[in-house]
Amino acid sequence: MDSIQHLFFVCVVAKTVWNLVVEGFKANQISCFEDVCTSWQFHKRIHVLNMATSGSLWSIWQLRIEFCFQGRFWKSLNCILMKLCGFLLQWVVLCNDAHVGLLCQFILLLN
């Protein structure tokens, strides 16, 4: 069984997702839950980054559930990126006008 650290941060898929978040927002490296919490604490006004980190955690978890309990198999990195894009597109309505463009730009990076 995977550890929580491995599932969310050490696994090559998770690392790739976090690298895209870091690249997309020019944020500090994210390699553990403490980094996510620090990001949330220091970027309270950058709701889009907080949405991206939340969406990343949720996407990784949802994909794990699909693999373990629904018989889904790994096909490509696209599996998780499309899942993350889907969540973020649903969450666009939570952004103020100033942040919608930033979120859409990040979604384009994921595509």
DSSP letter assigned to residue 70: S
pLDDT, position 82: 95
Provide the CA 79 distance to its chain's centre, in angstroms: 13
Q: Provide the number of structural domains found in the chain.
A: 1
Per the structure, the complete domain to which residue 95 belongs is given by: 4-110
Give the C-alpha distances (Å, rounded to integers) separating 90 from 34, 35, 63, 87: 26, 25, 18, 5
pLDDT, position 44: 59
pLDDT, position 78: 92
pTM of the model: 0.89
**Average pLDDT, integer, range 50-78:** 92
Calpha distance 18→93 (Å, rounded): 23
pLDDT digits (tens, 9 = 90+) for 5-59: 999 999 999 999 999 999 998 888 999 999 999 888 776 557 888 999 999 999 9
